Amino acid sequence: MNKALRGINAFYRVFLRLVGRFDWLGPLALRLFLAPILILAGMNKLGSIEEVATWFGSPDWGLGLPAPYLMAWLAGLTELLGGVALLVGLGVRLVAVPLMFVMAVAAVTAHWEYGWHALPEQTLTMPWEWREDLIEEAVVRRDKARELLQAHGNYEWLTEAGSFTVLKNGVEFTATYFVMLLALLCSGGGRWVSLDHWLCRAARRASGNCSSQGI
């Protein structure tokens, strides 16, 4: 038994050394996934700042936020500049914090009332859906819309690029982005393919005060 355990332990140490050579791939994948999403979201906000500010500030059909123009500019700039920083791997841990704040605010103010799921899936992908009533109502409306399209339209052509559904607009996506940013906050931008890594190496040569994980 001890010999078997020693063999397993030796194999696991070799496995960890092998995986450790590629520990930069995880942060890189997260950065490349998040960066274009955030950059486009920021550009869209800044390109339609009047409409975004009106939506942010309206208590009737919008979010009812205070200082809506300031909030719109802050959200747009945070997403745009934060996305660029993630793309090049500059100050990844630092920019993750305001980006997580933006995701948290979006989840609470724009998505929370619609529950967890972004789409009205009849089979729940997570057990903590708190607006199952909206799923039931959305499914009824989705099925009715499909019936109307099948009866009065060229349904095969209409669905060639994808099936029709109803956007439930829950917190699923913002929560996912928040978790991904949290992972980057803990890991940093990763080795070799981030500016943080090379800045850290330069700082370490100069003073020895930078951690091996980057800035």
**Structure confidence at residue 51 (pLDDT):** 96
Residue 213 pLDDT class (50, 70, 90 cuts): low
**Structure confidence at residue 135 (pLDDT):** 85
Say if CB 133 and CB 78 are below 8 A apart.
Answer: no
Q: Would the pLDDT of 154 be above 80?
A: yes
**Structure confidence at residue 7 (pLDDT):** 86
pLDDT in tens, 51-94: 999 999 998 888 989 999 999 999 999 999 999 999 999 999 99
Lowest mean pLDDT among 42-56, 133-147, 177-191: 133-147
Q: Nearest Cα to 33, choosing from 215, 181, 188?
A: 181
pLDDT in tens, 170-208: 999 999 999 999 999 999 999 999 999 999 888 888 876
Residue 26 pLDDT class (50, 70, 90 cuts): very high
Residue 99 pLDDT class (50, 70, 90 cuts): very high
Mean pLDDT of the chain: 90
Tokens linked to 124: 């729940």
Share of the chain above pLDDT 90, in %: 60
**Structure confidence at residue 62 (pLDDT):** 87
Please report, for the chain, the start and end positions of each structural domain, with discontinuous segments joined by +: 23-102+192-215
**Structure confidence at residue 132 (pLDDT):** 86
Mean pLDDT of 2-24: 89
Q: Would the pLDDT of 215 be above 60?
A: no
Mapping DSSP onto H, E and C, the string for the chain reads CHHHHHHHHHHHHHHHHHHHCCCCHHHHHHHHHHHHHHHHHHHHHHHCHHHHHHHHHCCCCCCCCCCHHHHHHHHHHHHHHHHHHHHHCCCHHHHHHHHHHHHHHHHHHHHHHHCCCCCCCCCCCCCCCCCHHHHHHHHHHHHHHHHHHHHHCCHHHHCCCCCCCCCCCCCHHHHHHHHHHHHHHHHCCCCCCCHHHHHHHHHHHHCCCCCCCCC
